[in-house]
Amino acid sequence: MTHQIKSFKEYQKIYKNSVRHPEKFWAKQAKTFKWMKPWKKVLSGGFEEADVRWFEGGQLNITENCLDRHLKDKANDVALIWEPNDPSQAFKTYTYKELYSEVCRCANMLKSNGIKKGDRVCFYMPMVAELTIGVLACARIGAIHSVVFAGFSANALADRIKDCSCKMVICSDYNNRGNKSIAVKEIVDEAVAKDCSSVETVIVYKASNTKVKMKRGRDKWWHKEIEGKRKTCKPAKMNSEDVLFILYTSGSTGKPKGVVHTCGGYMVYTCYSFKNVFQYQQGDVYWCSADIGWITGHSYIIYGPLLAGAKTLMFEGVPTFPDAGRFWHICEKHKVNQFYTAPTAIRALMAQGDDWPSHYDLNSLKVLGTVGEPINEEAWNWYKEKIGKNTLPIVDTWFQTETAGIMISGLGGLSPQKATYAGLPLPGIQLCLLNSKGKEIKGNGKEGLLCIKYPWPSMIRTTYGDHARCKEVYFSSFKNKYFTGDGARRDKKGMYRIIGRVDDVINVSGHRMGTAEIENAINEHPNVIESAVVGYPHKIKGEGIYAYVILNKNKMDANIDTKKFNSSLLKVVTKEIGPIAKPDKIQIVTGLPKTRSGKIMRRILRKIAAGEAKNIGDVSTLLNPDVVKKVIRGASKILVNN
């Protein structure tokens, strides 16, 4: 298994070496896994053509490393704990042996339904244990999984199914979340009806007793299909650079793109980062509260922990059901040792008062983690004091769908921590700060655009079906650098603080969204002729969505019923993307500030949305400077949704 660093001094030594001899360093980590065939070359290609390859010539199966490899000494140890939405319902555990058998059975079910190596399988599922099983079953036979977060709408799901022509969709009948029950299968039916001709089979996992319609010839029940399937399944031989999965994420322009990750490098990096960041000790119970629909769930609920032979917990529900003590109840109930969540959840729970955590025994906790968005000082301090009792280390972990693994973070309690700072780069990760002209900003105590100078094993390989886009978005801004899209500050000790996105991507409750994507959805409303979306500081969500909309003339003059308009706009956005993209604030405007070349001046709109209209600066060079005043004046009459 990959090396676990034991002291800060050791980290410093290893870091230095990893940068001096990256290939040697990663080869050493990679050797700790089971390979069906050894690799010929550790690293090939480069950033220039976006054609980086790791461990070429090697063959492996990631599930053999997640499961089979542990059967010798951990067959009866718990691998997966599943905690249901409803706490009065029994939780489930799977030992490594049981998880192995379930994954093999599911793999055989996929095969018997015509799924072969290289086929794409879409998952649109709540956080049930079968999602983990299904994902691993795909990897077992070399099928490519594309997990779509179950909060997306039918339209968004259809786009993702079509983009990579999925042959199968695996879903549940219903999604039990808090006291709601969401009709998942209906959404899938609606999505597949939108020209998803590649879909041959829909497998439905039964999570409720309510009836659903099944389409003959296409829809099949999970429990019926898996019945009697063999508990063994030979792992497919995968080349290091064969695709393991696709995960869609938003960028500043266009539709979400399918980020592609491959088998070898992803395996090595997720295991290494998991073990070191969380300082996981054998026998510990580790819980990441993310959804598997995002990269955090892929890398740090499923793959990283299982590769490391850990006990990983997955939770079906929400932090506030049946009450705001649920997270802490789960920590107490399962004696969680490492707890990993998002700042937005911390802020939401903080707002419910200090009392909730005090009712539970949190003594098992050893390391607290956070991910997904910048953590503000208040939330960091609350987490440290109320949950960590001022003694536990907090690992703020920075990474992206594209990096697949944690790039910046403290190592459990080993490395220094500082509120709002993610900290130092992991071994093998070479960061730099650039100015907008691409010149490296050397020295500490500086701020700039965060870039990565050297390949790392789990980096993005391509955007599905459009390699030019991958090259353009990540590797063309600055020569020979991967550009993250984030701004960062480096303090005197070399620790990094992530400031946030510098592009048109916003981060709402840790969910990453493109403003263009939301604008496109808004523009689908029949009364909207143009819109502009920006983020603004939001107490709980980190960033909220602020939409400026221009209505068509008739509507504008006719004193429209703004309440009605507001709710119909929210409906449209929910239909196009999903409830997570609903604007928090809507301002009806008559014009948008534009440059002479016709580009919307978002900088100005962001200031107005943040209530900082006073600091807008000179607007005289705009095409329509008068509009700014009008927008500022109108900002007091906005429609607020929550």
Which residues lie near ligand WTA (CB under 6 A)? 249, 294-296, 371-374, 396-401, 422, 484-486, 498, 500-501, 507, 512
Using DSSP's 3-state secondary structure scheme, residue 59 falls into: strand
Residue 56 vs 491, nearer CB to ligand WTA: 491
Closest distance of CB 262 from ligand WTA, Å: 18
The answer for residues whose C-beta is within 8 angstroms of residue 257's C-beta and 6 or more apart is 248, 249, 251, 463, 464, 466, 469, 470, 473
The answer for residues whose C-beta is within 8 angstroms of residue 559's C-beta and 6 or more apart is none
Closest distance of CB 246 from ligand WTA, Å: 14
Residue 288 vs 331, nearer CB to ligand WTA: 288
DSSP state of 7: S
C-alpha to C-alpha distance for 625 and 81, rounded to whole angstroms: 59
Using DSSP's 3-state secondary structure scheme, residue 591 falls into: coil
Q: Which residue has the tokens 């990441």?
A: 288
Closest distance of CB 42 from ligand WTA, Å: 26
C-alpha to C-alpha distance for 226 and 403, rounded to whole angstroms: 34
Using DSSP's 3-state secondary structure scheme, residue 496 falls into: strand
Question: Please, are residues 395 and 412 in contact by the beta-carbon 8 Å criterion?
Answer: yes
Beta strands 120-124 and 175-177, pairing class: unpaired
Using DSSP's 3-state secondary structure scheme, residue 521 falls into: helix
Q: How far is CA 63 from CA 47, 266, 307, 602, in A?
A: 29, 12, 8, 46
Residue 10 vs 491, nearer CB to ligand WTA: 491
Q: Where are the alpha helices (DSSP H) in 255-339?
A: 263-277, 295-297, 304-307, 326-333
Closest distance of CB 498 from ligand WTA, Å: 4
Residue 184 vs 295, nearer CB to ligand WTA: 295
Closest distance of CB 511 from ligand WTA, Å: 7
Residue 57 vs 487, nearer CB to ligand WTA: 487
Residue 202 vs 545, nearer CB to ligand WTA: 545
C-alpha to C-alpha distance for 624 and 551, rounded to whole angstroms: 18
Closest distance of CB 479 from ligand WTA, Å: 21
Beta strands 446-452 and 431-434, pairing class: antiparallel
Question: Strand pairing partners for 586?
Answer: 547, 639
Closest distance of CB 365 from ligand WTA, Å: 19
Residue 422 vs 589, nearer CB to ligand WTA: 422
Residue type present at position 324:
A
Closest distance of CB 247 from ligand WTA, Å: 9
Residue 175 vs 249, nearer CB to ligand WTA: 249
Q: Which residue has the tokens 């080869």?
A: 27
Give the DSSP per-residue string, 401-466: TTT-S--B---TTTS---TT--BSBPTT--EEEE-TTS-B--SSSEEEEEEE-S--TT---EETT-
Residue 175 vs 344, nearer CB to ligand WTA: 344
Closest distance of CB 151 from ligand WTA, Å: 14
Per the structure block, which two tokens stand in for 141?
Answer: 């036979």
Closest distance of CB 621 from ligand WTA, Å: 30
Residue 279 vs 344, nearer CB to ligand WTA: 344
Closest distance of CB 417 from ligand WTA, Å: 13
C-alpha to C-alpha distance for 143 and 146, rounded to whole angstroms: 10
Residue 175 vs 299, nearer CB to ligand WTA: 299
